[in-house]
Structure 1
Amino acid sequence: MGKAPNIPVTGHAIRNINEVYSNQLTKGQRIADYVAKTVGSWPFIILQTGIIFLWMGFNVYLVYMRATNPGYFDAWDPYPFILLNLVLSFQAAYTGPVVMMSQNRQAEKDRLMAEHDYHVNIKAEHEIKEIIKSLRVQEEALTQILNRLDAGGKNT
């Protein structure tokens, strides 16, 4: 009867990679994530759409009031809304790179997660092989015990 293998148990504490990674973020990375999360949300899209409609509507109203009432003040951004276009271009010029920074950081995090999963899988595979070896040794021992019991029962 063989000796059961001693399955090594590592003493490493299980860590949440997401938590570890989040704790190491710089302030700039946190801001980039917040901006990407905010800009990519429905409330932001709805708010921005509302602001654009208000901007255009108010300027059209001011143009109309100036045309009907000569003493009325001019619209600050009449059609074709060049100032609005400038504001939206400015927003896009800054939002695009910030979102890209957030995506690059997310890709790095995904790479680290995949690497961590790979190491966990290798460790699990090794431990499963050791468990299978142990089960085979136990099966052999049980078979020998059964054979002895059968042999002892036949002699009586």
Structure 2
Amino acid sequence: MSTVKIRGPAERYQHGGHIIKNINREYQDQITTGQRVADWLAKVVGSWSFIIYQSIMIVIWMGVNSYLVYMATNDASYFQSWDPYPFILLNLVLSFQAAYTGPVVMMSQNRQNEKDRLAAEHDYQINKKAEEEIKVIMEHLVHQDMIMSTIISRLEFLQQDGKR
């Protein structure tokens, strides 16, 4: 009895290596120190702790200056307020903060968008590879079905031949 080797689609398939990679790690390895600082600043400025801390500092600033203005009106020799109402210096400080943190946060968001695009492209490549492998598997299953059908037909023929 001879054995006939029938090569199926799965045996002929060449995998071509792995394409899975950690986009986060690769992206982290590529960013500069300035970009790391921008990401850190965006993370800090975008946190509730920063908002609460800044709100407390603003209330203290306004409270101390209002108190100093009140005390200076009652006693001329009392320490003068450095930023009396309407708190022009506070407005200037907050404007500078907004002027510098806004673009830094935007740079960080742009980098995050770029990272998301890289991840989407990587997902697309993995999906293409998976689709190709699934196609080969399905072709191989069809190939196996044909072989099984041939084997069953031969067995049925042998059974019928043996009954005669």
TM-score, length-normalised on structure 1?
Answer: 0.94
Q: How far off its partner does 1:69 sit?
A: 2.3
Is the deviation greater in 80-89 or in 11-20? 11-20
User: Which amino acid in structure 1 is aligned with residue 133 of structure 2?
Assistant: E
Q: Give yes or no for contact 1:32–1:101 (8 Å, CA) kept in 2.
A: yes
The correspondence for 1:78, drawn from 73, 76, 84, is 84
Structure with more contact order per residue of length (Cα contacts < 8 Å, sep ≥ 6): 1
Whether 1:100 and 2:106 are equivalent positions in the alignment is yes
Q: Counterpart in 2 of 1:91?
A: 97
Instruction: Please list the CA deviations of residues 48-105 of structure 1 after superposition, one character each: whole Å capped at 9, or x if unmatched.
Output: 1010001001111111111222221111101000000000000001001101111111
Most deviating of 145-154 and 38-47: 145-154
Please report how far the alpha carbon of residue 148 of structure 1 lies from its aligned counterpart in structure 2 after TM superposition.
Answer: 1.5
Query: Could you tell me how far apart the structure 1 residues matched to 2:48 and 2:102 are?
Result: 17
Consecutive unaligned residues in structure 1, runs of 5 or more: none
Task: Specify the alignment match of 2:119 in structure 1.
Answer: 113
Q: CA deviation at 1:13?
A: 5.7
- 2-side partners of 1:155 and 1:69: how far apart? 124
8 Å CA contact 1:7–1:131 kept in 2: the answer is no
CA distance in 2, matches of 1:146, 1:77: 96
8 A contact 2:69–2:80 mirrored in 1 = yes
Separation of aligned partners in 2, 1:12 and 1:127 = 12
1:37 — aligned with what? 43
Give the Cα–Cα distance (whole angstroms) in 2 for the partners of residues 61 and 10 of structure 1. 75
Percent identity over the alignment?
Answer: 58
Instruction: Give me the CA root mean square deviation.
Output: 1.5
| Unmatched segments (≥5 aa) in structure 2 | none
**CA contact under 8 A between 2:19 and 2:126: conserved in structure 1?**
no
1:106 and 1:141 mapped to 2: Cα distance? 52
**Aligned structure 1 segments of 4 or more residues deviating by more than 3 angstroms:** none
Matched, 1:20 2:17: no
How many residue pairs align between the two structures?
A: 156
TM normalised by structure 2 equals 0.89
- Give yes or no for the alignment of 1:57 onto 2:57: no
CA distance in 1, matches of 2:157, 2:115: 62
Name the SS for the 1:86 alignment partner: helix
Q: What is the letter of the counterpart of residue 136 of structure 1?
A: V
Q: Which has the larger radius of gyration?
A: 2
Amino acid at match of 2:77: G
